[in-house]
Amino acid sequence: MTPAFHQVCDELVRAAIAEDRSFGALLPQLMRASETAAPAALTAAMPRLAEGVAQAPPNLGGWLAVAAGSWIENGADPNPFGAALVERLTEVTAAALAFGEAWERSGAGDPPGMEDGRPSQQALDVVAPALKDGAVTAMMSWFALPQFAMSACTVLATAPMVRASLTDRDLRVFAADRAVAYLPRMEYVRDLLRVLDGERLLVLDRAGRRGWTVTISGIGDNFQLHTLLAGALIGRPGGMPGEPPAPEIVACFLNTDAPAERPVVSSPWNLTDAHGEPVYNEGVPADVPAVNGTRVLVLDPPSYLRTFPAGRRFPLMPATLTLEGAHLPEDLAGWWPHIKPA
C-alpha cells in the first residue's frame, strides 16, 4: 500500500469514527487513490475499513461500506471486511426498522424514501416521542441502509467463508425480510443470507425409483439449481434421459458471464419436495425442506414447458453442483415411504 493511500484511508476512518467534518473531503480523495491501487493494497486496507464500519455512526459507516464494496469488485479479498459488515448491517437494519415502524405509528403518513430523502430535524421530531434516545441512530440508520445493503450484496456474493461463518442466520434473514417492505433491495440481501454452501441434497427420480446425492454451493435461485441438475444428470450413464443443456449454458449458471443476448433455457422436470409441494424456480434451495436431516428434491415429468434466460441471479457469486454418487432402487427403499405424491 502506498503511504499516501494508507494515510488517506487511516484519516478517513478516524474522521468517520470521530464524526469529523473532514470526512466529506477525504472520501473522494480515498476513492481516487484506490483507482490505481493494486488488489493487494486494497486488501491490506480492508481491516481498517472494517474498524470504521464497526465504530462509525451509520451515516458515515455506510459510505465506508460502499468503498469496501467497490474495492472487492476490483479484486480485494472480502474476508477481512465481511464479518464486520454483516454485523453492522444487522444493527443498522434493526434501527432502520425501528424508525419505519415508529413513523407509521405516528400517523404522519408514509415514511421518507431511504434513497431519495435525508436526515432532518422534521424527521427526527416525528419519531423522537417513540424512540427517545435512540431516535438519532434510528434516523441515521434509515437513510444509511441502502449503502449497507449495496455493500452486503457484494460481500455475501463473493465471500463463501463469510456466509459459512454466519451465526443467528434465521434472525438475520427475518430482519432483512421485514426491511424489504421499506427497501426492495433488501430482498437480495435476504436471499444471499440464505445461500447454502456445502449442502447435500438427495435428488429422487420418482418414475425410475432412482436417486443421486449432490452437493451444492453458491446457488442463488432454483432456476440455477434446476439447470445445474440437468447438466449433472441428463445424458450421463445411469442418469436421466433427454438432451442435456449445452456446456456453455451450464457455464453461465456456474461462473461465466451470460452473453448480452441471453440464451433461453427449457426446464426438463417439475421439481417437488418430499411433501409433494412444488419447488418454485423463483425460490431458493433453502426453501427445500429436509427429511431426516437431508433436503430432498423429487423429479417429475414437466406439466408444461418452462423457459427462462440463462445466467445467474447474482453474477458475482460462482456456484458449484457436484454429483457425489448414484443410488440404486434397493438403496432407496427406506426413503419412498416418506415421499408424498406430487
- Predicted confidence band at 324 (pLDDT cuts at 50, 70, 90)? very high
CA 258: distance to chain centroid? 19
CB-based burial, 32-49: b 16+ in 10 Å, e otherwise? ebbeebeeebbbbbbebb
As a whole number of angstroms, the distance between CA 29 and CA 194 comes to 36
Dihedral sign for Cα 258, 264, 267, 273, please.
Answer: positive
Length of the chain: 342
- Predicted confidence band at 6 (pLDDT cuts at 50, 70, 90)? confident
Please give the mean pLDDT across all residues of the chain: 95
Contacts of 276 (CB under 8 A, 6+ apart): 339, 340, 341, 342
Percent of the chain with pLDDT over 70: 99
Opening angle at CA 278, ends 304 and 294, nearest 5: 135
Phi and psi angles of residue 223, each rounded to the nearest 5 degrees, phi first: -60, -45
pLDDT the model gives residue 76: 98
Q: Is the pLDDT reported for residue 236 higher than 90? A: no
Q: Is the pLDDT reported for residue 237 higher than 80? A: yes
pLDDT the model gives residue 1: 45
> Helix or strand or coil: residue 17?
helix
pLDDT the model gives residue 3: 63
As a whole number of angstroms, the distance between CA 177 and CA 188 comes to 10
Reference 271, options 290, 292, 285; nearest CA is 285
Q: Is the pLDDT reported for residue 8 higher than 50? A: yes
Query: Model pTM?
Result: 0.94
- The helix-helix angle for 3-18 and 58-73 (nearest 10°) equals 150
- The pLDDT tens digits of the residues spanning 162-197 come to 999 999 999 999 999 999 999 999 999 999 999 999
As a whole number of angstroms, the distance between CA 51 and CA 85 comes to 10
As a whole number of angstroms, the distance between CA 313 and CA 114 comes to 24
